Amino acid sequence: MAGYRKLSRTSAQRKALLRNQVTALLYHGLIVTTEAKAKEVGKIAEGLIALAVKEADNFETVTVKAKVAKKDAEGKRVKEVVDGKKVTVYEEIEKEIKKDMPSRLHARRQMLKVFYPVKEVPQEGKGRKANTKMVDMPQKMFDEIAPKYANRNGGYTRIVKIAQRPGDAAMKVLLELV
């Protein structure tokens, strides 16, 4: 007996499909798919959530000093003339950052093996490249999803049967985070 479903695809196609659906599930919270795909996606998602719950608090906060370009009211860099050249003015600020411990860093890299990059587009600026931003999915897992399931031992996803698909009568299901 195989340890996974082949889903009538080559290994590369299957891996791409599962990565895509796991990323969509954890970003949106629910997806509609077939029953066989949902069971496979659920397995992978459960493992990633368990990993995030285990490593959620495994970091230290460090204060660092950084040089940042000084900006005026319009958001443009302030420049001053030094020896006949225009030079950007920098100011030094202290910033607190989260530094991952080695096991959390490993968990983050394991998650990045599965997740595809996600771009977030705000509603008001739809179609404009300037307003898009990349979503850090492992950070979302640690900050938003892991605290939600911190006191739960497994069972992070739910499969709800919807109906049969009209074309091929495959069972459509709703796969959602509990």
Q: Over the stretch 58-108, which tens digit does the pLDDT of each residue have?
A: 999 999 999 999 999 888 999 999 888 999 999 999 999 999 999 999 999
Q: Which residues pair with 69 in a beta bridge?
A: 90
**What's the pLDDT at 122?**
82
Q: Does the pLDDT of residue 5 top 90, yes or no?
A: yes
**What's the pLDDT at 100?**
94
> What's the whole-number average pLDDT of the chain?
94
* More confident: 127 or 66: 66
**What's the pLDDT at 1?**
56
> Which range is least confidently modeled, 5-19, 115-129, 153-167?
115-129
Type of residue numbered 83? D
**What's the pLDDT at 26?**
97
From the CB of residue 74, how many other CB atoms can be counted at a distance below 10 Å?
5
Torsion region of 83: left, alpha or beta (phi above 0 gives left; psi -120 to 50 gives alpha): left
Burial class (CB in 10 A: 0-12, 13-18, 19+), 58: middle
* pTM (predicted TM-score): 0.84
**What's the pLDDT at 2?**
75
* Averaged pLDDT, 7-11: 95
Q: Which residues pair with 97 in a beta bridge?
A: 62
Q: Does the pLDDT of residue 176 top 60, yes or no?
A: yes
* Averaged pLDDT, 116-139: 85
How close are the terminal C-alpha atoms of the chain, in Å?
Answer: 30
Domains annotated on the chain, with CATH: 11-57+101-177 (3.90.1030.10), 59-100 (no CATH)
